[in-house]
Amino acid sequence: MNKLVVQTTTAYPQPSESAAARLLHLVHLTGSVARAEATAQLGLPRSTAAEAVAELVELGLIAQGPPERQAGAPRGRPSPQLYPDPAGPVVVAARLDSSEAELAVVGLGGSVGQRRRVPLPAYGSDPRQTLTVLAGLMREAAAGSGRACAGAAVGLAGMVRATDGLVHSALHLDWESVPAAEILAAELPGVPRVEVGKDASFAALAEHYRGAGRGARTLLTLTCEHIGIGGAVLQGGVPFTGAGSAVEAGHVVVDPTGTACPCGMRGCLEVSADGRALLGGTPSEPGDPAEVAELLRRAEEGERSAGGRIGAAAANLGRALASLANLFDPDCVVLSGLLGEYLRIAPERVHGELRASVVARTQSPKVVAGSVASPVLIGAAEQAFGRLLAEPRLLRGAMPGT
C-alpha cells in the first residue's frame, strides 16, 4: 500500500479553506461536475478555479474529461467535466458487529470497489485478537487496490469516544474500555490515520451527504442492522457528541416494565424493536436476520400475526422518536435498515406515537427511510476521507509504503 504524508486538519472542508479543498469536496459529492458549473457554485474567480483544477489534477485527485453538452444549452465552447481520478486515493471502510465484519475499498466520489463480508468471533472474544484480524483484512484490502490509501475507519455499535476511538462500552461485542483505534493504528502503520466511531454516526454522515438527509439543518438518524439500535444527530453536518457518548437512542426507555436490556434498564428501544425483539430472541440467541426478512414479507402480504409484531415494534419506535424529537427538534428524521422497513409497512404506528411529541406536532419534521445502501460503510468512508478533503496537499509527497 502507499503511505501519505499527513498533517493535523479539520474533518471537513470549510468555506475559509483553500479553493482546491472546496473544489475537491464538490467533485467528491457530485461525482462529476462541469468546470464552469463548479466555478459558479463555489463563487470563485475563473483564474482561481483554474489554479485549483490544475493543482488537484497534478496531485492525482481529479481528472478532466470531454464536455457534456446538454440539449438546449447555449452555443459556445462547453466546459470540461471534472471527476475523481480513477487512479486516485482510496480509503478502507469497515463495519463490525457481533458476528461479522464487512469491509469495502472506497474511492473519491463514493465509488465502492472491493467489498467483502467475513465471519469474526467477536462477541465475548478477546478485543485485541478480533481487531488484529480485522486489521489484517483491511491491510489486504488496501494493498489489493494498488492505490494510495488516504485513511481507514471502522464503525461499530457502542459508546465510542469520537476524539480517539476508545470504545467505552459495546454491549453486543461484550467490550469495555477498548482502545480500538490505537490497536488498529498499530497494526496498520502504512495507513496515515485510522478512526473508530459509532456506527450510527457514520450512517448519519452517509445520509447527510449522499442520501435522504441531504439539506437537513438538524438531522436525527436511527439505524438497525439486526441487533441493537443506534442513533446520531447532525447539526449543520456536524455530529452532536455531548461528552463523547450522546444519542444512545437504543436505550431510550419505551416500556418501563418491558424486557430487561443488557444495559441494566428495562424496556429500552432496542430490546423492544430490533430484529432480536421481533423474533423473541435473547442476546445469546438473537435469531437469524433471514427470519426477520421473512416476517416482513408476511406482514406485507397481510398476515395478521406478522403485522401485529411489526406494528408493535413500529409503535415502540414512534414512542422513542417522540422523546428524541422533544430533545433535539430535528427537521428531518432518517430511519435506516430495519427501522426504515417499519416506516414502510406500518407508517401510521410510527407517526401516531410521534405525534405525542409537542415539538413534532409543532414543527412537523420530515420522517423518511434511509436511501443509502450500506450506510455505515459509506459514512465510514466519508469520515476517513475527511482529512484529505480538507487539505488536498496531504497527498503531495506520497511514497511507496509497506
Decide if 90-201+376-384 and 215-371 have a common fold: yes
Q: What is the pLDDT of residue 283?
A: 65
Q: What is the pLDDT of residue 402?
A: 36
Locate all alpha helices (DSSP H) within 246-346, ordered by sequence.
Answer: 269-273, 275-278, 289-300, 304-328, 338-345
- Helices 19-30 and 35-42: angle between axes, nearest 10 degrees: 120
Instruction: Of 4-13, 354-363, 389-398, give the range with the top mean pLDDT.
Output: 354-363
- What would the pLDDT profile of 22-77 be if each residue is shown by its tens digit? 999 999 999 999 999 999 999 999 999 999 999 999 999 999 998 876 555 455 56
What are the domain boundaries of the chain? 2-84, 90-201+376-384, 215-371
CATH number of 90-201+376-384: 3.30.420.40
Q: What is the per-residue DSSP string for 159-182? A: EE-TTT-EEEEETTTTEEEEEHHH
Nearest-5° Cα angle at 105, 236 to 135: 100
Q: What is the pLDDT of residue 5?
A: 33
pTM: 0.90
- Domain 2-84 part of CATH 1.10.287.610: no
215-371, what's its fold? Nucleotidyltransferase; domain 5 (3.30.420)
Q: In the structure grid, which three cell numbers stand for residue 96, read together? A: 463490525
- Sign for the pseudo-dihedral over CA of 137, 97, 161, 375: positive
Q: What is the pLDDT of residue 398?
A: 44
Q: In the structure grid, which three cell numbers stand for residue 16, read together? A: 475559509
- What would the pLDDT profile of 119-129 be if each residue is shown by its tens digit? 987 677 899 99
Q: What is the pLDDT of residue 286?
A: 77
